[in-house]
Amino acid sequence: MKYTDLKCKEVVDCKNGRRLGYIVDLEIDPCDGRICEIILPSAKKGFDCFKKQKLLRIPFRDIVKIGPDMIIVKLCEKK
């Protein structure tokens, strides 16, 4: 699958059905060419829209399913 195919798919969290956005970048392991993480822009709330954009990094192992029009992920909660 090409990057251009992945970036047009919407990423959705399977726990709560929240739409996370679209892929803006990938982190690839240079040794074997595997995808390590998908990178999305984080949601901006209130006056956060004036701050530098933060990125949401999702490890490839957290991807549950890559479908024809969306990518379903299971986000791990940080404690």
At residue 43, the pLDDT reads 67
In a domain, 42, yes or no: yes
Angstrom distance (rounded) from CA 33 to CA 30: 5
Residue 78 within any structural domain of the chain? no
Work out how many domains the chain is built from and give that number: 1
Q: Indicate whether 40 belongs to any domain.
A: yes
CATH number at residue 25: 2.30.30.240
- Percentage of the chain with pLDDT > 90? 61
2 touches 9 (CB < 8 A): no
How many angstroms separate the CA atoms of 62 and 77, rounded? 12
For residue 60, the model assigns a pLDDT of 93
What pLDDT does residue 42 have?
Answer: 79
Q: What is the mean pLDDT of the chain?
A: 86
Where residue 78 falls (left for φ over 0; alpha for ψ -120 to 50; beta otherwise) is: beta
Examine residue 50 and state whether it is found in any structural domain, yes or no.
yes
| Strands across the sheet containing 63-66 | 19-22, 10-13, 70-73, 63-66
pTM for the complete prediction?
0.79
Over residues 5-42, the pLDDT tens digits come to 888 999 999 999 999 999 999 999 999 999 999 999 87
Would 64 be classed as within a structural domain?
yes
| Domain that residue 17 falls in | 3-73
